[in-house]
A and B are shown apart, each in its own frame.
Chain A
């Protein structure tokens, strides 16, 4: 199985900050990576697909990059609504696997 490792587990930031979350795959997954945002009590929401493509309706403040084994999600100009948990997911091979999540908290 491909292991997905996110860092940090918790990220403290302030409104207006720009933050970056990292996701590393245990083997190459090309660009078959998605990023999701999950708020308490809600289902995950797709933000980024194929590593760097912004899902329809998602603000351009979210951006993704990377390929192979290293990926990043960057969120610019943080607003209160952005404080949530973020997950990466590889869909290069079965079983599909998720990172353990990064909880973005207000400093």
Chain B
């Protein structure tokens, strides 16, 4: 059974930092691009970032560029999101998501999410 389990969410201060982790099990973690997608409670979905299989390629949505860093440790089957210079608008549930990749695509496995609240 595939499991993606996020952790590290909580209360962060404006301008502060948080690091999210996602532990993967039951899948060949190192073979897939991974993503972070966030969702403000009661609102829609927003793609945040992705990373390729060997961590040589990373991409970000504009609103987090320069503040967030995605990384992975394939030996530990773990995905990370380092979140710096936090803003109130970063408040959301953060999902760790697998991209099934070529040739079909689609985000086929999602974690349960970890909630980040940015507030003073």
- Is B68 close to A, CB under 8 A? no
B46 touches A98 (CB 8 A): yes
- Is B100 close to A, CB under 8 A? yes
A49 touches B44 (CB 8 A): no
How many chain A residues touch B (Cβ–Cβ < 8 Å)? 23
Q: How far is the CA of A96 from the CA of B50 in the complex (A)?
A: 10
- Is A24 close to B, CB under 8 A? no
User: Closest residue to B103 on the A side, CB-wise?
Assistant: A50
A46 touches B108 (CB 8 A): yes
CB distance from A9 to the nearest CB of B (A): 11
CB distance from B68 to the nearest CB of A (A): 13
A43 touches B113 (CB 8 A): yes
Contact with A along B82-120 (1 / 0, CB 8 A): 000000000000010001100011111011110000000
- Is A70 close to B, CB under 8 A? no
**Which residue in A55, A87, A91 is a CB contact (below 8 Å) of B45?**
A87
CB distance from A77 to the nearest CB of B (A): 24
CB distance from A85 to the nearest CB of B (A): 9
User: Closest residue to A98 on the B side, CB-wise?
Assistant: B45
Q: Which residues of chain B come closer than 8 Å to A65, judged between CB atoms? A: none
22 contacts between A and B (CB under 8 A): A32-B105, A36-B45, A43-B111, A43-B113, A44-B45, A44-B95, A46-B108, A49-B105, A50-B104, A50-B106, A53-B104, A55-B106, A87-B44, A89-B45, A89-B107, A91-B105, A91-B106, A94-B50, A95-B47, A95-B62, A98-B45, A101-B45
